[in-house]
C-alpha cells in the first residue's frame, strides 16, 4: 500500500493557530502560539503519525487538518479546495462543505466520554446515518450498523447494539467509536491518541483493526501519540511516515526507519532516549541529553530554533534564525536543524553556555502549558 504521490487529500500551507489566553477580567491577554508556520501534505491511503510532548500543538494541528479548528494564518485545503472558504461560501466553491465535512472524521483518546451516555450504541450510531443517508429506513440503518459492528469483532452485534455506553469495556467503546467514524466512509480519520487509554494488550489489536479496515474503505489516518513505541508500530506496519513536533513546529518528518532509528534532529534523539527499551543497555547514560527538562511556555516561545534553550548542541546562530525543514541526502526525511547542512555557518559559531545542567523548573517558570 505504497503512498500514491498524486494530489494530496489534505494540504496545509504555512499554518498558524494562535489562542487568546485571557487572565481574569482586567488582566492583559496573552497569545499562545500553539501551531506556528507549518506545511504538511497527507495523501490518499496514507498513514502519518505525529509524535511530541504535551503542549507541542499536535492535537491542534490534527483538529485543524480535519476542519474542526479554524487557523489564524495559512490555509488548509481538501483536494485543492480551502475548507474554510467552502464553509463560509466565499470564492467559487467547487467541493461543497458538506462533502468535505463528511470525509474528515475523528477518534478521541478517552473512550469514556466518546459516546453519549444517555443513549444506546444503536442510537449513537444511527444519528449520523439519519443525516447523510436519508433514503435509508430504520431497518436498513440497523442492518448496516450491525454488520459493521460484526466486522470490528463485536459479536453478537445485536447484544452490543442495545447496550449503554457504561456497559462496554474501554476496548469495546473504542471500537464503537471507530465504527461511527467508518459509517461516514471518510477519506481521513484523525486518531487523537486513540490507543493510549486502552489496556496494553488491546493496543495492538486496535491498531491492527484500524489498518485492516483501511484497505476496505481506503481512508488515510492522521495518528497522534506521545508514545514512540505506538508510533513505531503503526507507521512501520502501514509503511507510513512519522513526524516529530516541538512547540508548534515540525522538526523532523519521514519514514520510521529514518526518523526513529537514524534520528538527525537533537530533539528526536531526546525522545528516543526517553523511550524505555525492554532491556536497557548499560552504556546509555542515565543523564538526559538535554539542558533543561521542563518544556518552555508556549506563550513566549524562544527565538530562532525553539529548541535552542534545551538543545545540548545549541549554538549562538540557533538563537537567531529558525532552521527550515529541508530534504537530507539519505532518503525520504526532512529535518529542521542546521546540523544537517554541512556548509551552514552553524559549524563555526560558538556553543551557547549557560549555568550548569539544571533539570526541572529551577530556571524558567513553566506554567501548565496550553492544551496541546
Query: Within 43-82, which residues bind other proteins (CB under 8 A)?
Result: 53-54, 66, 68
Helix (H) or strand (E) holding 173: helix 170-182
The b/e string for 261-291 (b: 16+ C-beta within 10 A; e otherwise) is: eebbbbbbbbbbbeeeeeeeeeeeeeeebbb
Q: Kindly state whether residue 264 participates in binding other proteins, applying the rule CB under 8 A.
A: no
Residues 225-254 that bind other proteins (CB under 8 A): 226-230, 232-233, 236-237
Q: Which is nearer to other proteins, 34 or 184 (CB)?
A: 184
Q: Which is nearer to other proteins, 116 or 303 (CB)?
A: 116
Residues 205-224 that bind other proteins (CB under 8 A): 205, 208-209, 212, 216-217
Q: Which is nearer to other proteins, 48 or 106 (CB)?
A: 106
Cell 508514545 belongs to which residue?
Answer: 227
Q: Which is nearer to other proteins, 165 or 336 (CB)?
A: 165
Q: Distance from first CA to last CA of the chain, Å, rounded?
A: 31
Residue 107: strand pairing partners: 191
Task: Compute the chain's Rg from CA coordinates.
Answer: 22
Q: Which is nearer to other proteins, 281 or 350 (CB)?
A: 281
Q: Kindly state whether residue 27 participates in binding other proteins, applying the rule CB under 8 A.
A: yes
Q: Kindly state whether residue 261 participates in binding other proteins, applying the rule CB under 8 A.
A: yes
Q: Which is nearer to other proteins, 144 or 339 (CB)?
A: 144
- Which grid coordinates belong to 108? 478521541
Selected from 92, 278, 343, 350, the binder of other proteins by CB under 8 A is 278
Binding mask 283-302 for other proteins (x = CB under 8 A): ---xxx-x--xxx-------
Among 137, 176, 185, which residue's Cα sits nearest to residue 154?
176
Q: CB 247 → other proteins: shortest distance, Å?
A: 13
Selected from 14, 98, 321, 345, the binder of other proteins by CB under 8 A is 98
Q: Kindly state whether residue 369 participates in binding other proteins, applying the rule CB under 8 A.
A: yes
Q: CB 51 → other proteins: shortest distance, Å?
A: 9
* 3-state SS class at 36: strand
Q: Which is nearer to other proteins, 88 or 327 (CB)?
A: 88
Q: CA 67, CA 203: separation in Å to the nearest integer?
A: 27
Residue 104: strand pairing partners: 188
* 3-state SS class at 306: coil
Q: CB 18 → other proteins: shortest distance, Å?
A: 16
Q: CB 346 → other proteins: shortest distance, Å?
A: 24
Among 202, 205, 238, 201, which residue's Cα sits nearest to residue 223?
238
Q: Kindly give, in sequence order, each residue whose CB lies less than 8 Å from that of residue 63, ignoring residues fewer than 6 positions away.
A: 69, 106, 190, 192
Side-chain-facing half-sphere of 27: CA atoms under 13 Å: 8
CA distances from 115 to 83, 163, 181 (A): 27, 11, 12
Residues 323-362 that bind other proteins (CB under 8 A): 358-362
- Quick one: DSSP state of residue 24? T
Q: Kindly give, in sequence order, each residue whose CB lies less than 8 Å from that of residue 302, ignoring residues fewer than 6 positions away.
A: 296, 308, 309, 319
Cell 484500524 belongs to which residue?
Answer: 210
Q: CB 110 → other proteins: shortest distance, Å?
A: 6
Q: Which is nearer to other proteins, 162 or 303 (CB)?
A: 162
Q: CA 72, CA 236: separation in Å to the nearest integer?
A: 34
Q: Which is nearer to other proteins, 93 or 204 (CB)?
A: 204
Selected from 13, 44, 84, 204, the binder of other proteins by CB under 8 A is 204
Residues 118-177 that bind other proteins (CB under 8 A): 118-119, 124, 127-128, 131-132, 137-144, 147-148, 150-155, 163-172, 177
Q: Which is nearer to other proteins, 311 or 317 (CB)?
A: 311
Q: Kindly state whether residue 86 participates in binding other proteins, applying the rule CB under 8 A.
A: no
Q: Kindly state whether residue 87 participates in binding other proteins, applying the rule CB under 8 A.
A: no
Q: CB 347 → other proteins: shortest distance, Å?
A: 27
Q: How many residues does the chain have?
A: 372
Amino acid at each position: 500500500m505504497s503512498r500514491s504521490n498524486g494530489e494530496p487529500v489534505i494540504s496545509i500551507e504555512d499554518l498558524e493557530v494562535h489562542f487568546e489566553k485571557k487572565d481574569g477580567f482586567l488582566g492583559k491577554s496573552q497569545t499562545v502560539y500553539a501551531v506556528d508556520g507549518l506545511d504538511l501534505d497527507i495523501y490518499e491511503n496514507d498513514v502519518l503519525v505525529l509524535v511530541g510532548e504535551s503542549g507541542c500543538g499536535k492535537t491542534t494541528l490534527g483538529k485543524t487538518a480535519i476542519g474542526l479548528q479554524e487557523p489564524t494564518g495559512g490555509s488548509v485545503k481538501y483536494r485543492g479546495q480551502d475548507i474554510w472558504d467552502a464553509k463560509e461560501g466565499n470564492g467559487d466553491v467547487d467541493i461543497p462543505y458538506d462533502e468535505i465535512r463528511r470525509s474528515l472524521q475523528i477518534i478521541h483518546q478517552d473512550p469514556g466520554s466518546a459516546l453519549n451516555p444517555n443513549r444506546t450504541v444503536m442510537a449513537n450510531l444511527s444519528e449520523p446515518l439519519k443525516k447523510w443517508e436519508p433514503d435509508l429506513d430504520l431497518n436498513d440503518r440497523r442492518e448496516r450498523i450491525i454488520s459493521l459492528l460484526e466486522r470490528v469483532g463485536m459479536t453478537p452485534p445485536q447484544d452490543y447494539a442495545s447496550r449503554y455506553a457504561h456497559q462496554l469495556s474501554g476496548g469495546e467503546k473504542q471500537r464503537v467509536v471507530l465504527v461511527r467514524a467508518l459509517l461516514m466512509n471518510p477519506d481521513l480519520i484523525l486518531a487523537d491518541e486513540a490507543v493510549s487509554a486502552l489496556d496494553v494488550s488491546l493496543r495492538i489489536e486496535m491498531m491492527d483493526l484500524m489498518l485492516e479496515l483501511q484497505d476496505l474503505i481506503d481512508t488515510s489516518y492522521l495518528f497522534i501519540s506521545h508514545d514512540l513505541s505506538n508510533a513505531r508500530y503503526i507507521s512501520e506496519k502501514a509503511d507510513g511516515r512519522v513526524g516529530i513536533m516541538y512547540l508548534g513546529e515540525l522538526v523532523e518528518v519521514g519514514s520510521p526507519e529514518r526518523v526513529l532509528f537514524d534520528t538527525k534532529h537533537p530533539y528526536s534523539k531526546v525522545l528516543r532516549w526517553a523511550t524505555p527499551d525492554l532491556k536497557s543497555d548499560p552504556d546509555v547514560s542515565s543523564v538526559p541529553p538535554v539542558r533543561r527538562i521542563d518544556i518552555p511556555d508556549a506563550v513566549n516561545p524562544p527565538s530562532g530554533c525553539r529548541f535552542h534553550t534545551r538543545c545540548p548542541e545549541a549554538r549562538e546562530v540557533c538563537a537567531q534564525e529558525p532552521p527550515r525543514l529541508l530534504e537530507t541526502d539519505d532518503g525520504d526525511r526532512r529535518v529542521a536543524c542546521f546540523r544537517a547542512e554541512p556548509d551552514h555557518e552553524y559549524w563555526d559559531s560558538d556553543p551557547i553556555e549557560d549555568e550548569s545542567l539544571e533539570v526541572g523548573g529551577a530556571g524558567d517558570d513553566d506554567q501548565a502549558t496550553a492544551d496541546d
